């Protein structure tokens, strides 16, 4: 639990939403011990600087957060969900007043609640309760031909549901935050996106219909399924989770360390964990796996994925510059561009622009600080050492708003054009932007490690816990189901 445990006001407010009496709600409250994991001052500074990025770039008039900055950009709805999660963290840390956080949060949730929806290709922000991946920063309408995104909508709504749990007071604006967040969630027609048996589509375009890809390989999509299964208005069947687990044999690997469900970029092992405390809870697949690996859960799986990435950097079979036990981290991030070029050792290497990177998958020597920094709960000592090493060895990557998105020590010269970033003499390529979906997990995961604030509130979030139980999860804080 967070350092205040389940506050009485949280339980009472939730009870009011669910039709319970105040006395009944008070009877359900259980206080938990203080959770406080001190972090190195360098980690505290990183969290604060990264938090400040959100306050600097988010549109106060509507709550929209840009996909990237300082390059002019559209809004990423996932980044908005992360901003909504950051505001309470800022209050807890003393970086923002509750009044400002409340105003920012209500402005954002009200804007999305009121945003026009419909099947049209333009002039709307979403359809069937879902929102488009990217929105115009001013109008909130669909940007270009971007897709109606199930995962980005999920991350937006997760931020709203967390805000609804944290803003637990009797102030009318906090009551309105809770009401509107639940309303936005209940409008999402999750059953509409099950277009193939027991699989949720990744998205939809008004011009061409549903995207062919589904959430059916182990990755960041766990939270999509859990919120869909837990919906009180448009739920998908629990068999969707059974189908999700049925393909795990494709991902099980011990190539770079202890056996785990492998997904190359680290964001796949982080995003659902921003909001779900997977420690000690298990679904049917995990309970079976526990006979082979006692105590194995999805949190342990992410620990092993982080270990594997670090081991991969140490092995460095592709001989990229900079990789070491203290400088590591591959995930989806910006890159220099899409081209081939001869590098320092006389070999021709392929480089990429924005792309998902990981061990054995499109590794072009581009290191993303968010990959390691957002892994703090999984490997505190190793991540702290990585932070200090990156700051010491690559100071140009660290700014007043935390780390720039990525850097590549191998690419020290370039005759042709770059799509992103610049070549810095004696350093290599460095990105020129901060990305919202990479900044947010840094703030959130540092706080989950420090004080459990997000996890503790979401452990009491009725929609999420409903989804977990319907999916067959039991154990630890969730109970027997």
> Where do the domains of the chain lie?
1-34
Long-range CB contact pairs, 178-185, < 8 A, 24+:
178/13, 178/17, 179/17, 180/106, 180/109, 180/110, 180/113, 181/109, 181/157, 182/17, 182/463, 183/113, 184/109, 184/112, 184/113, 184/129, 184/157, 184/160, 185/157, 185/160, 185/161, 185/227, 185/231, 185/463
Average pLDDT over residues 300-329: 98
CA distances from 83 to 213, 280, 362 (A): 28, 28, 29
Contact 43, 446 (CB under 8 A): yes
- Degrees, nearest 5: CA angle 34-271-134: 130
- Degrees, nearest 5: CA angle 38-384-151: 95
pLDDT for 28: 33
pLDDT for 11: 34
Tokens (6 digits) for 348: 């021709």
Question: Model confidence at 36, in pLDDT bands (50, 70, 90)?
Answer: confident
pLDDT for 481: 58
pLDDT surpassing 60 at residue 335: yes
Contact 406, 366 (CB under 8 A): yes
DSSP H or E stretch at residue 301: helix 298-315
Of 33-42, 156-165, 335-344, the least confident: 33-42
* Tokens 């409250």 -> residue: 29
CA separation for the pair 226, 212 (Å, rounded):
21
Q: What's the pTM? A: 0.92
Average pLDDT over residues 20-39: 48
pLDDT digits (tens, 9 = 90+) for 396-448: 999 999 999 999 999 999 989 999 999 999 899 999 999 999 999 999 999 99
pLDDT digits (tens, 9 = 90+) for 348-375: 999 999 999 999 899 999 999 999 999 9
pLDDT digits (tens, 9 = 90+) for 223-262: 999 999 999 999 999 999 999 999 999 999 999 999 999 9
CA separation for the pair 242, 463 (Å, rounded):
19
List, in sequence order, the alpha helices (H) in 167-238: 172-187, 222-230
Q: How far is CA 41 from the centre of its chain?
A: 24
Tokens (6 digits) for 153: 């909508």
CA separation for the pair 203, 185 (Å, rounded):
17
pLDDT digits (tens, 9 = 90+) for 254-284: 999 999 999 999 999 999 999 999 999 999 9
Question: Model confidence at 8, in pLDDT bands (50, 70, 90)?
Answer: very low
Per DSSP, 416 falls in state S
- Degrees, nearest 5: CA angle 98-136-271: 60
Contact 101, 90 (CB under 8 A): yes
Of 3-17, 180-194, 213-227, 391-405, the least confident: 3-17
CA distances from 35 to 38, 85, 263, 297 (A): 10, 19, 30, 21
What is the overall mean pLDDT for the chain? 93
- Sequence length of the chain is 481
Q: Which residues pair with 454 in a beta bridge?
A: none
Contact 128, 184 (CB under 8 A): no
pLDDT for 192: 98
Average pLDDT over residues 204-208: 98
């Amino acid at each position: 639990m967070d350092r205040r445990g389940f506050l009485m006001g949280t339980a009472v407010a939730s009870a009011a939403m669910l039709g319970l009496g105040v006395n009944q709600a008070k009877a359900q409250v259980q206080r938990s011990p203080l959770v406080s994991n001190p972090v190195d001052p360098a980690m505290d500074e990183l969290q604060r600087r990264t938090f400040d990025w959100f306050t600097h770039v988010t549109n106060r008039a509507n709550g929209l957060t840009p996909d990237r900055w300082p390059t002019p950009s559209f809004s990423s709805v996932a980044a908005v969900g992360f901003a909504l999660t950051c505001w309470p963290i800022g209050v807890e840390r003393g970086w923002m007043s509750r009044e400002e956080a409340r105003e920012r949060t209500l402005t954002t949730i009200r804007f999305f609640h009121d945003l026009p929806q419909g099947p049209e290709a333009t002039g709307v922000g979403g359809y069937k309760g879902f929102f488009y991946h990217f929105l115009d920063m001013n109008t909130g309408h669909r940007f270009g031909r971007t897709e109606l995104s199930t995962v980005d909508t999920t991350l937006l709504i997760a931020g709203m549901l967390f805000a609804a749990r944290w803003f637990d007071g009797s102030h009318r604006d906090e009551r309105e935050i809770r009401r509107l967040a639940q309303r936005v969630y209940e409008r999402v027609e999750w059953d509409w996106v099950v277009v193939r048996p027991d699989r949720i589509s990744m998205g939809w375009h008004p011009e061409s219909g549903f995207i062919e890809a589904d959430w059916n390989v182990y990755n960041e999509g766990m939270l999509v399924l859990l919120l869909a299964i837990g919906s009180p208005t448009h739920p998908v069947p629990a068999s969707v989770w059974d189908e999700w687990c049925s393909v795990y044999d494709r991902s099980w690997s011990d190539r770079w360390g202890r056996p785990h469900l492998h997904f190359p970029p680290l964001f796949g092992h982080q995003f659902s964990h921003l909001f779900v405390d997977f420690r000690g809870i298990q679904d049917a697949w995990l309970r079976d796996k526990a006979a082979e690996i006692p105590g194995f859960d999805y949190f342990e799986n992410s620990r092993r994925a982080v270990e594997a990435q670090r081991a991969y950097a140490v092995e460095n079979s592709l001989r990229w510059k900079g990789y070491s036990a203290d400088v590591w981290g591959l995930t989806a991030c910006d890159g220099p561009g899409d081209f081939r070029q001869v590098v320092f050792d006389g070999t021709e290497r392929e480089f990429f622009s924005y792309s998902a990177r990981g061990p054995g998958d499109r590794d072009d020597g581009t290191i993303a600080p968010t990959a390691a920094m957002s892994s703090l709960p999984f490997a505190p000592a190793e991540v702290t050492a990585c932070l200090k090493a990156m700051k010491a060895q690559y100071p140009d990557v660290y700014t007043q708003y935390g780390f720039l998105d990525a850097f590549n020590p191998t690419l020290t010269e370039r005759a042709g054009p770059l799509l992103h970033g610049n070549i810095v003499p004696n350093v290599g390529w460095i990105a020129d932007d901060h990305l919202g979906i990479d900044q947010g997990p840094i703030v959130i995961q540092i706080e989950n490690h420090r004080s459990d604030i997000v996890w503790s509130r979401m452990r009491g979030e009725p929609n999420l816990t409903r989804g977990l139980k319907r999916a067959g999860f039991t154990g630890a804080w969730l109970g027997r189901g």
